[in-house]
Amino acid sequence: MHDQRDDSRYRSHRMTIVLADTDAHFRARLRKRLEKIIGVQVVGESSDLEETTAMILNRKPDITILNSSLRGGRGIEVLEQVKRLMALPTIIVVTDDPSHDNKTVCTLAGADFFFEKDMEDHKIVNTVRLLYIPHGRLEASDLPIAALDE
């Protein structure tokens, strides 16, 4: 069983995340839940297209959680700009428009995951948990999972 006092094996690599959404309350709630996962660190937040693009390029996060619409443009524009300049991090798109067309456009632009913002925020956190499994063989009880009382 995992001893909570011995988290050093998870500290050698942090999973970094940029959150981009116009809703500051959503970002704050998601940040709080994500940072309960041992080894996960939110390294930036933005609500603006240009600021988000610059943040991804400068901070090179492992994961970007990106709303499909931002102030100044659409999330897909961020993907297109970043993809021209560097390999995309893992992209999780959150949206208020879960239509098939929107999902298809985001996926073609480089999104790895696509979730309806208000209905599937728990899936966002669970996806990050699954993406961040420290190197080496661990027992299921050793996985760095946040508290279940979220």
pLDDT in tens, 48-90: 999 999 999 999 999 999 998 899 999 989 999 999 999 989 9
Alpha helix (H) residue ranges in the chain = 8-11, 24-34, 49-59, 75-85, 100-109, 121-131
Domains of the chain: 8-134 (3.40.50.2300)
Under 8 Å between Cβ of 85 and 58: no
pLDDT along the chain (150 residues), means of 10: 42 82 95 92 96 96 94 92 92 90 90 89 90 55 42
pTM of the model: 0.79
